[in-house]
């Protein structure tokens, strides 16, 4: 009310963004907005639902496989719908929703997804002997590099945690999501090996880059440790890199 807020003004851009989000999350739902302030009309309808949502999020990205991976399943009163797509970026974009509420802090549904993804990726790599000569192990961080994910579930009694209620706390959801994603994503990899091959190449590349960065960091730390050690100057590392400009003297005594 105006007694509490001196000015009440709705932002059309913020409202459009939220309504578009709801239309994506509820495929086939048509939402019409009419702004009486300027007579502007907007209509949102996405028959592809979350599949279209991920396409929208990745429209300016260089995707490594043409279409998002889409999964829709129900188990133990939990209706799950998700889509994911990989691109050549080095970050991850993850959006999770419970009963159309944006759970920005994730929670048990995101934990279940992450566990299933890491397990599926490692299982596929092991079964197809993809890590034999790579010298790396695959982590969850590697598996999510370059990924856009929208994960939505609908459950009867969601329990939200945190001050902003942006985190799902239902413990049973983790196992349900983990089982669905593990089974369905594994099936996608088996039935569409060309997509699996591209994703695995991306994941292994991420792991190799991570290992290379770790080795470089360790090398710098060892070098810095030597430089600040209590050894006398005559025992310090040679700074000259050109062998032709370096000499070694061996003398007796101090």
Q: pLDDT (tens digit, 9 = 90+) per residue, 74-83?
A: 999 999 999 9
Handedness of CA 159, 161, 163, 164 (dihedral sign): negative
Domain assignment present for 3: no
Domain of 200, CATH number, reads 3.30.230.10
**Could you tell me if 73 and 29 lie in one domain?**
no
**Could you tell me if 60 and 34 lie in one domain?**
no
For the record, the structure tokens of 204 come out as 């292994």
Note the maximum CA span of the chain.
Answer: 95
Residues of the chain below pLDDT 50:
none
pTM of the model: 0.82
Q: Say what the pLDDT of residue 200 is.
A: 97
For the record, the structure tokens of 152 come out as 């939505």
**Could you tell me if 30 and 135 lie in one domain?**
no
Give the chain's domain count: 2
Domain assignment present for 237: no
Q: Say what the pLDDT of residue 233 is.
A: 59
**Could you tell me if 157 and 36 lie in one domain?**
no
Instruction: List 43's β-bridge partners, or say none.
Output: 32
**Could you tell me if 134 and 91 lie in one domain?**
yes
**Could you tell me if 26 and 63 lie in one domain?**
no
**Could you tell me if 84 and 24 lie in one domain?**
no
**143-192, pLDDT tens digit by residue?**
999 999 999 999 999 999 988 889 999 999 999 999 999 999 999 999 99
**Could you tell me if 99 and 195 lie in one domain?**
yes
Neighbours of 153 (CB within 10 A): 26
Tell me how far apart the alpha carbons of residues 132 and 135 are, in angstroms, rounded to a whole number. 7
Domain assignment present for 62: yes
Tell me how far apart the alpha carbons of residues 104 and 143 are, in angstroms, rounded to a whole number. 20
Q: Beta 40-44 vs 31-35: how paired, if at all?
A: antiparallel
Domain assignment present for 170: yes
Domain assignment present for 218: no
**Could you tell me if 88 and 172 lie in one domain?**
yes
Domain assignment present for 165: yes
* Host domain of residue 71: 50-211
Q: Say what the pLDDT of residue 166 is.
A: 93
**Could you tell me if 57 and 165 lie in one domain?**
yes
Domain assignment present for 248: no
**Could you tell me if 60 and 146 lie in one domain?**
yes
Domain assignment present for 117: yes
Q: Residue 127: which H helix or E strand, with range?
A: helix 108-127
The percent helix, strand, coil of the chain (3-state, each to 5) is 45, 20, 35
Least Cα distance to 24 among 61, 1, 62, 51 occurs for 51
**Could you tell me if 19 and 127 lie in one domain?**
no
């Amino acid at each position: 009310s105006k007694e509490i807020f001196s000015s009440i003004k709705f932002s059309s851009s913020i409202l459009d963004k939220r309504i578009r989000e709801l239309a994506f999350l509820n495929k086939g739902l048509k939402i019409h907005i009419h702004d009486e302030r300027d007579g502007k009309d907007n209509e949102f309808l996405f028959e592809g639902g979350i599949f279209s949502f991920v396409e929208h999020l990745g429209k300016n990205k260089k995707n490594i496989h043409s279409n998002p991976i889409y999964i829709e399943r129900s188990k133990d009163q939990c209706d799950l719908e998700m889509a994911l797509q990989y691109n050549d970026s080095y970050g991850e974009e993850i959006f999770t929703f419970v009963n159309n509420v944006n759970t920005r802090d994730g929670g048990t549904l995101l934990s279940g997804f992450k566990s299933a993804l890491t397990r599926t990726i490692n299982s596929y790599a092991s079964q197809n002997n993809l890590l034999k000569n790579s010298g790396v192990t695959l982590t969850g961080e590697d598996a999510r590099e370059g990924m856009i994910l929208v994960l939505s579930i609908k459950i009867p009694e969601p329990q939200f945690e945190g001050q902003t209620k942006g985190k799902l706390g239902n413990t049973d959801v983790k196992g349900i999501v983990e089982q669905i994603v593990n089974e369905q994503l594994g099936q996608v990899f088996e039935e569409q090996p060309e997509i699996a091959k591209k994703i695995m190449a991306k994941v292994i590349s991420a792991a190799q880059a991570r290992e290379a960065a770790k080795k470089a960091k360790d090398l710098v730390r060892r070098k810095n440790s030597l430089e600040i050690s209590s050894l006398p100057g005559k025992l310090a590392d040679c700074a000259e890199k050109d062998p032709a400009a370096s000499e070694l003297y061996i003398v007796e005594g101090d």
